[in-house]
Amino acid sequence: MMDTPAGLAIKPLSPLCGAEIVGVDLSQELPQQTIGAIQRAWNQYVVLIFRGQELSEEAQLRFASYFGELGKRKKPPDELKKRVTGTEQFTPEVMLVSNKRVDGEPVGAFGDGEMWFHIDSGYAESPYAYTFLYGVELPSWGGNTRFANTVAAYEELPQKVKDKLKGKKALHIHEYERRQRVPLRDDISGSPHWFHPVLIEHPKSGRTALFVDRLMTRRIEGVSLEESEELLAFLYDHVEQERFVFEHEWSLGDVVMWDNLATIHGRTYFPETETRLLRRCTVEGSPLKMAG
Judged by the rule CB under 5 A, the positions of this chain that interact with Fe ion are 120
Judged by beta carbon, residue 153 or residue 278, the one nearer Fe ion is 278
For the CB of residue 44, give the shortest distance to Fe ion in the complex, in Å: 22
For the CB of residue 214, give the shortest distance to Fe ion in the complex, in Å: 13
For the CB of residue 12, give the shortest distance to Fe ion in the complex, in Å: 23
Judged by beta carbon, residue 165 or residue 257, the one nearer Fe ion is 257
Judged by beta carbon, residue 120 or residue 259, the one nearer Fe ion is 120
Judged by beta carbon, residue 20 or residue 120, the one nearer Fe ion is 120
Please list the residues that pair with 208 across neighbouring strands.
Answer: 201
CA angle centred on 50, ends 36 and 38, rounded to 5°: 10
For the CB of residue 191, give the shortest distance to Fe ion in the complex, in Å: 17
Judged by beta carbon, residue 111 or residue 197, the one nearer Fe ion is 111
The letter for the amino acid at 194 is: W
For the CB of residue 110, give the shortest distance to Fe ion in the complex, in Å: 7
Rounded Cα gap, residues 190 and 229, in angstroms: 23
For the CB of residue 185, give the shortest distance to Fe ion in the complex, in Å: 24
* Residues in the chain, overall count: 292
Rounded Cα gap, residues 33 and 6, in angstroms: 10
Judged by beta carbon, residue 228 or residue 263, the one nearer Fe ion is 263
Judged by beta carbon, residue 132 or residue 244, the one nearer Fe ion is 132
Judged by beta carbon, residue 120 or residue 240, the one nearer Fe ion is 120
For the CB of residue 173, give the shortest distance to Fe ion in the complex, in Å: 16
Neighbouring C-beta atoms of residue 45, cutoff 10 Å = 25
Report which residue's Cβ sits closest to Fe ion. 120
For the CB of residue 78, give the shortest distance to Fe ion in the complex, in Å: 23
Alpha carbon of 164 to those of 157, 197, 203, 217, 235: distances in Å?
Answer: 11, 13, 23, 17, 12
